[in-house]
Structure formats: structure tokens, C-alpha cells
Chains A and B, each alone.
Chain A
């Protein structure tokens, strides 16, 4: 809760429940699920994941289980510690366009759609934030940093002071302390200390998740249409909400089905092989992916924090002391991250080149979300290097709205014609 010092200046939380808006949010998820359902030769294990977006089952379950839920944003809220505490992380970054107008009653118009969209939910009293006990919010970009002030009207907010510069000294000096502070807050919330074996279990669980994802990803590189990119993101993003052990079990089933299906040879990529880089593409804002599918090409890779990046990395559980494990956790959130909130884009460029080559892409699509300055500012160098490496690239400057679908189609189609 707020300290007395923070309570000096208060704003009453804005509540605007609106069944119409909530209905549109549900409809957007249902429409997308229905659309994905119709994909030809789709694997039968996939509808499981849709339910996490189209039903409230998981939310009800969380209420019944009476576990503490930590709402998180971005890549950086340490899941390992939340799981080790016996709590549940739920990522609140949203892709719904329908909640944006709701949020604009309080938030300025000129901030990124992701933040506005996410903030619409507490105002509506809807969505996952309803199930949360606290919010863990990293100071990644400016919009996220300031969002904390608004969210604090509704729930206790733990800001996580994320460094902007990646370096080893700072990591130990400073970020490790931040991680420990976060653990301390969790311990306070739960009224019990986290012990080394608990953290080790959590690390092991997340390593299993990463290994499973890696196996799936590699299989998919050879047979991309086993999972359309829409389906891949759906699977990845359902892990933001699902019970982790259950998600792992389900995804093992999916992986086995993928292995069997790959033998049929039916799932080769169609058209051009593309990679998406840039701002997060979050359910149900899959418009770019849908257009690419309609144009007969295939997305085979991405480097997004709500996609590939989210599940690929993990902290190795080979340390025995709590201290050692916390260090591994601290490092895991800084060095592998290619989020542009860090000062330099070099790591990200290396990663994009690596992924693009590994997936043998014909071109890269740079998703530039309107009013997201950091991706926009990194674009120039990324585009330059890609071109120097003979990898064609196109920038799509867009937001969560649907009104520019035809313009986007023209750009993407022209790009595909160009890279013939």
C-alpha cells in the first residue's frame, strides 16, 4: 500500500464500467479465435490455448485457489521469484484496441497504444488486472515508468528500477540489489521467506519451459506452418496467464503432435519467409500477421518481448546458494534482453541478424508502433545494417486500430512483390 509520504497527493481511482466496451473486447478475442480456428490442417492441440483468451475460466480458478497474483508488465518482472514465492505472475501488457478510448479519459492521447490499452482495463474493472493483488512494473520505457503512477490509484505498485545501460559492474552493484528488494517485497506480501530449494524449483520449471519452447521453435523452423505465427504467439502469450505446470504439460502434447505432423511434410512455408521485429504484437492485435497470411506468405521468426524473446531465455538452475541463483536471475533479465529501453541497439541487431539467417528469411518487417519512441529511434540503424547484409526490410508504422489495414496490405504486398 501507499506510504504516508505517498498519500499526501491522491487521486481517486477512475471507474467506468461499460458493458459495451467489455463486450467489444470479448468479441475481438472471439473473432480472432474463430479466425485461427479456420486455418487449414491446424493441429488439434491448439484450441486449448484459445480458451485462455476467450473465457474467464482461468480467472475464476485463480479466485478459487486464493493464490496471490502479481500483475507484471514487460519482459523484466522476475517470474522466477514470483513462482518461488508460490505466487502467480500475470502479464498485463495488452493488445486490445477497444479499451484505448476508455483510458484516454485519464491518460494523454499521445502515448503508445500498448500502455493506453492496458490501462483501460482497471478503469473498466475488467480483464486480468481484476485478479491481481499487486503490480510489478519495471521502469523500462517512459510510458511504462509513468504508468505506475496511474496504476497506484488502483493497486499497490512495485516499481522495478531497471538500469538503462547494460554492464557487468552495474549488474552486481545495483540490479542485483533491485532483484533482492523485489524478493523481499514478495516475502512481505506472503509473510514467509523464500528458501533456496523453492527458488531452485522455480528455476527448473522455467528452464523446462524454455527447453520445450526451443525444441518447438527448432522443429517449426523446418516446418513453419505447423504453427502459423498467430498460433505461435497465441501459445507463447497464453503462458502469460496459464498455470505454468499445466501449460508445460499441454505444450508437451502440442510438441508431440507437431513431431508427428511434421512427418506428413504438409507444413512447409508458403510464399516468402519473413521475420518480424519491433514493438510487441499482442493478442488480439494480429492484423499484420493476418495480412501476411492472406497474401500467402509465412512469418517464420520474431524477436519480440511478447514472442520469441519471452520464452527462449532462462536462468540456469545450476547454482546451489540463494545468492548464486539470484545473480543468475539478475543476469538473465539484462543481457539476453533486446528491448530498446537499453541505451544501445547493438545486441538487438546481432540477435536480429542471427535469427534472420537461422530462419533463412527473405525479408524483415519492422513493426513500428505509433508513439513508441524507442523502437522508432532504433529503426534507422537496424534498417541500415539489415540492408547492408542484403536482407530486405520494410517499416510498418501503425497502431492498434483497424482503419489502416488496406494501407498496410498495400505496403506488405508491394514489399513481397519487390523481394520476388
Chain B
């Protein structure tokens, strides 16, 4: 049975084509201002990679903020349940995953799972974007770096800098003043990473960080950040090979139920 999942996030749109237990294709592109069109394009491209026709797809589920704009899908689910189903499909060598931390473009979620892998509870940041992918973008821009470079720089940090601001706008001005004091970019980035990690840790403690803890979403691609988050939480995180696609995958898994 061939199914597809599309995750229309605030920053990126992801598509996954699934055939039973096999992932046939993944595709990611910026969501842009026309999420519906982007979703169609992401689906078309992933079908191309999978060498499939649209009519071979038996069921399509959308998720993410733009889930409701997809009118060519069969169903939509929230990214919370998509994330849970995606991680359940991927599994971890360290044992059963009981908690998922998801760092997306616009929000941070900590999802607590039960023994069956179903959502037991979850917390999300409120509408403030501090600590999310968008926030990292703003910081990268202030430092004149590309988003992908943040992790590499962060690992080079030698000196601990504490960033106090928890608001995107204030953090940006704090970064600017640190630069004016000639503080190294790598130390600033590590400081920013630590402040986000602390925030996630607080959210995690609220619902309990039962191990194994998985880390997913675009944020998990940043290796420097993963390291700091592990230090902050005092545990080893399971980071799936395709952290960014877990929600889209979860949608494709949900599609297998065809209802």
C-alpha cells in the first residue's frame, strides 16, 4: 500500500512517500507564501523520486500549520499526533521512545508518550517565537551566518556567555551588543543555544522527560545544538536520521489506516 504524508510547516514543507515499511522518497522545500502550491509541488517531486504516479497513491494525510490548505488530501491530523506516529515507526536502538522533543520553525513541543506510543500529554510554547527555528534564523542573520553554520560555530566555543533575553527581538539586540563588545561569534551562538536548551528543559520538566527521549524537527539537524541540549538535559538524545521528516512520515503512517 502506497501512502503519502505532507507536513506544511511555517518555514518548510516536507513530503514523504511510504510503501508499507519502506520510505520511498522524501522532499523538502521552503513553505513560502503559497503553502498550498508548495505542498502540491513537494508531493509531485517526491512522487517523481519514488517513480510513481499520483493515482498510485492510496491515501494522503496532511499535517503541520498548513494542514488545512491541502484540499487534495484525504485527511489532516495535527503535528502532535503525526510526530508520535512518525517516531513510533522509526523506533530507536536504545529502547522505547517515551518522550519527543520537536523543534520546528515556529514552535517547540515536548510530547510525552505512553507504552503504546500514543500521546499521553504535550506542552508547546505560546505564540512567542523565542527558541524556535525562526528565532535561530534571526540570530544567524544578526551574525551574518547561514543557518546551517550555527552548529559548527557553536562547537568551537571556549568561553561561556549567558544570554538572558528570552524574546526574539531582545535576543537580537543582545547579540548586537555582544558583538559590539567584541565577543566571539562562536561563544554567542553557544550562549544562544544554551538559552534555548534551558527553555526546552523547563518545558520538558513540566511533563516529565521519561527516557528514551527523541529529538526531532529542523532544529535536530544542528549538531552543535544537540550537544548542548544533551548537556542541559543530562541525557543522551535519540536523533533519527531524518529528524526533519518525522511529522510528514507520521502523516504517511497515519494514512495507512485509511480513515
Which residues of A approach B to under 8 Å, CB–CB?
370, 392, 397-398, 403-404, 406-407, 410-411, 413-414, 417-418
Contact = CB atoms under 8 A, between A and B. Distances in A.
A407 B81 contact: no
Contacts of A418: 80-81, 118-122
A414 B127 contact: no
B165 to A, nearest CB: 16
Given A413-B78, A417-B77, A404 B127 contact: yes
A417 B78 contact: yes
B153 interface: no
B127 A398 contact: yes
- A interface secondary structure, majority: helix
A414 B76 CA distance: 11
Contacts of B107: 407
Interface in B90-133: 106-107, 118-122, 124, 126-127
B198 to A, nearest CB: 19
B207 to A, nearest CB: 10
Those 10 A-B pairs whose CB atoms lie nearest each other, nearest first: A414-B80, A397-B126, A414-B78, A404-B127, A418-B119, A413-B78, A417-B81, A410-B78, A407-B127, A406-B65
Interface in B55-91: 65, 77-81
B79 A410 contact: yes
Contacts of A406: 65
Contacts of A413: 78
A414 B77 CA distance: 8
B122 A414 contact: yes
A370 B106 CA distance: 19
A398 B80 contact: no
Nearest to A392: B121
A370 B126 CA distance: 10
B70 to A, nearest CB: 14
Contacts of A407: 65, 106-107, 124, 126-127
B99 to A, nearest CB: 15
B80 to A, nearest CB: 4
Nearest to B120: A418
A304 to B, nearest CB: 20
A410 B8 CA distance: 13
Contacts of A398: 126-127
A410 B127 contact: no
Contacts of B118: 418
A418 B77 CA distance: 11
Contacts of B126: 370, 397-398, 404, 407
Contacts of B81: 414, 417-418
A411 B119 CA distance: 13
Nearest to B124: A411
